[in-house]
Structure 1
Amino acid sequence: MKLKPFFLMAVFFILLFSCSGGKNENQALKDRVISVHDEVMPEIGRLKSLQNKLREQGDSLEQVSAAAESHVQSLEAAAQSCETAYDGMFVWMRQFESDYEEMTEEETKSYLEEQLKKVEKVRDDIKSALSVSDSLLNVQI
């Protein structure tokens, strides 16, 4: 008879701790999403600056020589990549939801996994645009 209350308390604690595991997992997943965002968000200003420099250099080369046309096209493509990456960050930020009270643990996990994929793509686009832009701006024609 004394075992019954102990058994009920044990079941209660097992259920309590098993439910909190999903919240901890989802919090860790949310932290990863935010971490990826925080990794590249400081580069947003540099991205816009490089976009402007690429376009300026392209405009000046167009006036100087028709032989530089290929390089001008590369500069414009890189400037467009900067703009696309820049816009991608802000599109992602506008659609990101940080309140999950209306979602189940499984829905929250699924949502955060999807957001992680999206923000990783934004990060990759930004890093790629920065790398290509830096290399093109260092080319001497």
Structure 2
Amino acid sequence: MKLIPFVLSMLFISLLFSCGTENDENEVLKEQVIAIHDEVMPEIGNLKSQQSKLVEKANALENEADESSYREELNKAAQSCESAYDNMFVWMRQFESEYDDMTEEETRAYLQEQLQMVEKVKADILTALSTADSLLQVGA
């Protein structure tokens, strides 16, 4: 009969530690999401700046018939900058940092989804900036 309290104690301790592990995993996921956001957020101003330069350069070529494809690339790149900018703020508005109403499993699934979303935002920002830089170097 002394075995039952021991087994119950061990069960309780193992449940307690397993919940702590899930919390820790979720905290690591949340930190990853925030770190990616923090990495690319400083580039937001650069996106708008590059977008303006692209539009300005495209407008300067408006009367140049032989530059129409380059002008089209400039406008497309400007749109990519605007889209990447907008997507960052759309992501930020929908991101929830409190998970009181979620189970540990729901929180983990939510954070994994947010990690994928913010990685896409990062990729879009970096691609838009790279394209803008390349196009603005042409003829500079």
TM-score normalised by L of structure 2 = 0.94
Task: Give deviations 1:35-71, integer Å, cap 9, x for gaps.
Answer: 11111111000000000000001111113x2111111
**Equivalent-residue separation in structure 1 for 2:9 and 2:105 (angstroms):** 26
TM-score normalised by L of structure 1 = 0.93
Matched, 1:127 2:126: yes
Q: Please name the residue that 1:12 is paired with.
A: 12
Q: Please name the residue that 1:68 is paired with.
A: 67
- Deviation, 1:5, is 4.0
| Gap runs ≥5 in structure 2 | none
- Deviation, 1:100, is 0.3
Please state whether the residue corresponding to 1:62 is helix, strand or coil: coil
Please state whether the residue corresponding to 1:102 is helix, strand or coil: coil
| Gap runs ≥5 in structure 1 | none
Q: Please name the residue that 1:22 is paired with.
A: 22
Which amino acid in structure 2 is aligned with residue 33 of structure 1? V
Q: Please name the residue that 1:138 is paired with.
A: 137
**Equivalent-residue separation in structure 1 for 2:101 and 2:38 (angstroms):** 26
Q: Please name the residue that 2:96 is paired with.
A: 97
**Equivalent-residue separation in structure 2 for 1:5 and 1:106 (angstroms):** 29
Please state whether the residue corresponding to 1:98 is helix, strand or coil: coil
Q: Please name the residue that 1:39 is paired with.
A: 39
What is the aligned length? 140
Which amino acid in structure 2 is aligned with residue 52 of structure 1? S
